[in-house]
Chain A
Amino acid sequence: MEFSIYRFNPDTDSAPYMQSFTLPDDQVEPGMMLLDALLLLKEQDDSLGFRRSCQHGVCGSDGMNVNGTNGLACIMPLANLKAPVVLRPFPGMPVIRDLIVDMDNFYRQYREAEPWLINDSPEPEVERLQSPEDRDRLDGLYECILCGCCSASCPSYWWNPDRFLGPAALLQAARFIEDSRDQATEHRLERLDDAYRLYRCHGIMNCTQVCPKGLNPSKAIGDIRRTMIKRSV
């Protein structure tokens, strides 16, 4: 099976280039994931750089651009991929080396969403309770693993990564706006109400299309807008 992989080492290369790799057919096994193939290719050339950790689609570290679409290599069946498989780092993010990108800005925007519970009332002895219905409202929001596939596929984030929070951070904003235990809803909505943080989203929906966890940041952003409008009328 043929692969074409983006290579760039800032210490030795003046410009990035695509390198061809071949995975012998006898090494391709049924049910193999793209990450398994990458680990075998790394045995051929151990200078090939990519991130991976849990290998089960939970840690979110092996996000990359595969044949033009962002996804997690560890949960992407090799059999579904058209050869030659073209692997590139996340678009719109600075490349550190090969498929490894600098996600500092992504995490900075995540912090901008204040992804923690704000509740100043005295702490109860056991825990802050929620009704099952209130808890259900967090489904589809809390499961994000911060792999970055969504934000790195969002044209608005490519253009304004410094000021637009991006779909991943906005999904987290929605998660805490929806949380019945959080007391800072007004503060959160006010922070999002400017020309950039939320409203650079134009409903392109790449985020929803690529999310490897099947989440819907686009809908979450729409829900934030709806909450804002309800609060202001």
Chain B
Amino acid sequence: MSLLSGQRAWLLQRVTAIYAGLYVFLAIAVLLARPPADHGAWVALVTHPVVWLATVAFILLMLLHAWIGLRDVIIDYVRPVSVRLTALVAVAVAFLLLGFWALWILIEAALT
């Protein structure tokens, strides 16, 4: 079994989808039940250790999920090797930047 293809990729895509679905469902439920009143309340909610860890996991798993999905689309439809590689690298770089940016925001919030 290769690192991230075939069965492992297929399974990971489904597991991450379940986690992301649960996270979004719980996040909406929490925000509807106790909407944060001001900036301080938002920071308190996001930096709560359970919420913080769950959000970090959400971002990482969501990026993994999206990477597997987009890679599938690119492998399906982009046949020329050079274009395919360019597209894959572009998506990978974009996702890494997005991931670092999101994590940086969360780390900043936790440090303040």
Contacts and interface: CB of A to CB of B under 8 A. Distances in A.
Interface of A: 156, 159-160, 190, 192-196, 198-200, 202, 225, 228-229, 232
Contacts of A160: 75-76
Contact of B76 (A190, A192, A200, A232): A200
Interface range on chain B (Cβ under 8 Å from partner): 10 to 19
A229 B8 CA distance: 9
Contacts of A194: 2, 5-6
B16 to A, nearest CB: 16
Contacts, number: 38
Contact of B5 (A190, A199, A232): A199
A199 B76 contact: no
A147 B29 CA distance: 52
Contact of B11 (A156, A190, A202, A229): A229
A202 B75 CA distance: 12
A190 B2 CA distance: 10
B76 A159 contact: yes
Nearest to A224: B7
A159 B79 contact: yes
A196 B72 CA distance: 10
A228 B7 contact: yes
B7 A199 contact: yes
Contacts of B2: 193-195
B76 to A, nearest CB: 5
Most chain B CB within a 10 A radius of its CB, from A190, A198, A228: A228
Interface string B69-82: 00010011101000
A193 B7 contact: yes
Interface string B1-34: 1100111011100000000000000000000000
A160 B74 CA distance: 12
A192 B83 CA distance: 26
A196 B10 CA distance: 12
B76 A229 contact: no
Contacts of B1: 190, 193, 232
A96 to B, nearest CB: 23
Contact of B9 (A199, A228, A232): A199
A229 B6 CA distance: 11
Residue with the greatest number of chain A CB neighbours at <10 A, chosen from B2, B7, B72, B77: B7
Given A159-B77, A193-B7, A199-B6, 19 more contacts: A156-B76, A160-B75, A190-B1, A192-B6, A193-B1, A193-B2, A194-B2, A194-B6, A195-B2, A195-B5, A198-B6, A199-B9, A199-B10, A200-B75, A202-B72, A225-B7, A225-B10, A228-B7, A229-B7
Sort A-B residue pairs by CB-CB distance and give the 6 closest, nearest first. A195-B5, A193-B6, A194-B6, A228-B7, A193-B7, A199-B6
A202 B73 CA distance: 10
A192 to B, nearest CB: 8
Contacts of B79: 159
Nearest to A231: B7
A222 to B, nearest CB: 11
